[in-house]
Amino acid sequence: MFKSVHHLYGYTVMAGNDNIGHIDDIYFDDHNWIVQYFVIDTGNLFEGQKVLLSPTLIKHVDDEVEVLSVTLDRNGLSEFAIATDQIVLGEAPATLSATEAGPPVSQLGGGLFDEETVGMSDDSIIETIRAKEGKEETPPAESSGTRSKKGHRNPIYSSKELIGSYIHATDGDIGHIEDLVVDEKLWAIQKVIIDTRNWLPGKKVQIEPKWIDSIDWTETAVYLSLSKSAVKNQPRFDPANPVAYPAKTL
């Protein structure tokens, strides 16, 4: 099941029969393009502080009533939830606690979109990524606001900050990011939705994250390895069936 990230904002979060707040943001890493945390605005709970929940704690998403159910009860939140001040956007997170185990995709190196993983089962992808991580060395820290998609570390970023970012093709500017589409099974970002115009509504197309060469989070700019013509020739975005058509071969 594929879901719009923008549409998920505001979904009520239920822990058993208790309403514990709503989705305020979704954090992801820009290397594997995996959802790392759901940012939950808990209202008066936790002294009004927003908390982070791992996707491994999600039980069900009901789009008809816009509810996300988690495997916790209200009392379990204090043990499993993470305060937002424990995560610094743009930096790799500290080692996850045992409560965030699950498939440990969030802390693995590699990428879901590497050629060697295409066509593999979910478990095989995870094992391949895990094996690659052990062979990779941590690169020097970067000093600028630009982070390459092909870096070895997995810093955390806000989907809200990414949506609206201006798109730079190899031969000029072309619109902005309108939305992201996630796969509910893996909680991986499968498609990036681009509005090819910035001021008036334009043609909306969907591209795969692998076409993103780098992201400048300081300037909220996304750089693609595609030309403007190639972007415009990508499949048109259909909200009713967001990933029905594969990206065109370039």
Estimate to the nearest angstrom the gap between the alpha carbon of 212 and the chain centroid.
13
Question: Which value, to the nearest 10 degrees, does the dihedral of the CA atoms of residues 180, 229, 166, 188 take?
Answer: 20
pLDDT of residue 188: 95
* Residue linked to tokens 């707040």: 21
Domain boundaries along the sequence of the chain: 2-92, 146-232
- pTM beyond 0.85: the answer is no
pLDDT of residue 114: 46
In 84-165, at which residue ranges do the beta strands (DSSP E only) sit? 146-148, 156-158
Q: pLDDT means per 10 residues in the chain (250 residues)?
A: 93 92 95 94 80 92 95 80 81 57 33 44 49 46 45 78 97 95 93 86 90 94 96 88 48
pLDDT of residue 127: 52
Question: Which value, to the nearest 10 degrees, does the dihedral of the CA atoms of residues 149, 124, 89, 221 take?
Answer: 30
Decide: 231 and 237 in contact? Cβ < 8 Å: no
Question: Rounded CA gap, 53 and 15, in Å?
Answer: 12
Query: Please, how many CA atoms are within 13 Å of residue 51, restricted to the half-sphere of its CB?
Result: 22
User: What DSSP character marks residue 127?
Assistant: H
Question: Rounded CA gap, 78 and 45, in Å?
Answer: 10
* Residue linked to tokens 């295409």: 118
The dotted CATH code for 146-232 is 2.30.30.240
Estimate to the nearest angstrom the gap between the alpha carbon of 250 and the chain centroid.
25
- Please write down the long-range contacts of 167-174, taking CB distance under 8 Å and 24 or more positions apart: 167/194, 167/222, 167/224, 167/231, 168/221, 168/222, 168/223, 168/224, 169/224, 169/226, 169/227, 169/228, 169/230, 169/231, 170/224, 170/225, 170/226, 170/227, 171/227, 171/228, 172/228, 174/228, 174/231, 174/232
Tokens representing 216 are: 């400048």
Q: Assign residue 119 a region: left if phi > 0, alpha if psi is -120 to 50, beta otherwise?
A: left
Tokens representing 185 are: 């099974």
**What's the topology of domain 2-92?**
SH3 type barrels. (2.30.30)
